[in-house]
Amino acid sequence: MFEAIKREIDVVFARDPAARSVAEIIFLYPGFHAILMHRVAHWLYEHRRYFTARLVSHLSRFLTGIEIHPGAKIGKNFFIDHGSGIVIGETTEIGDNVTLYQGVTLGGSGKEKGKRHPTIGNNVTISAGAKILGSFKVGDHSKIGGGSVVVKEVPPYCTVVGVPGRIVAREGIRLGEDYDGVDLDHNLLPDPITDALAVMQNKIDELERRLASLQKEAPPDEGIQYPEWQQRRAGNA
């Protein structure tokens, strides 16, 4: 038990530069509290103590603002940053080295029985406000952008943004010898809408340059505003 607590403290130090001391983590980090209480609730759930497991889970939600169903399976080195508003469903499976930010929902779609919540691979980062809904898998080393709504499977090494979520990057190469599998740069994500607007602006600039060039090449026409018959009428008058 103490080894597990030490491991959770080490995870916080590794991923949160604001953590200054062990005492601060133990007493003031709701994500740390939620994970430890879930470990207890999940043990009770696995031993068919369903009511007690749900009671521990409910108490955890009351104290931390983080709702994790005791049936959810969570791997090693799981980290919740801030965490308020996080919801993790009963049949959710989370791999190792996963990071969740506030407002994330790992939920189901519909009222089907059995596996109805997502499976999150290893080394996945899910940004603030993202919603992953359904019984599909998010592949290893993937990143889900803030506010995204993901409703279909995500291959490994992908970056997903938007509503509904779209894969905007796929990187299948190693990121360096010192890469530890955890990528916390969830603010450095592609923006397909901005990219599309940039392409449109470049096209408009090109058309304006071509129009200006054509206007310089065209001969001047003084009578273009008044046709010839109007000029004659004006002369007769």
Would you state the CATH architecture of domain 2-190? 3 Solenoid (2.160)
Angle (deg, nearest 10), helices 50-64 and 30-46? 170
Percentage of the chain with pLDDT > 90? 53
d(CA 22, CA 15): 14
- DSSP line for 180-195: -S----TT----HHHH
Highest mean pLDDT among 19-23, 58-62, 165-169, 213-217: 58-62
Model confidence over 196-212: pLDDT tens digits? Answer: 788 888 888 888 888 88
Which three-class secondary structure state does DSSP give residue 69?
A: coil
What are the residue ranges spanned by the domains of the chain?
A: 2-190, 196-236
Q: Give residue 234's region: left, alpha or beta (phi > 0; psi -120 to 50).
A: alpha
Model confidence over 171-181: pLDDT tens digits? Answer: 644 434 444 45
Token reading at 212: 């200006």
Regarding predicted confidence, which is higher, 132 or 175? 132
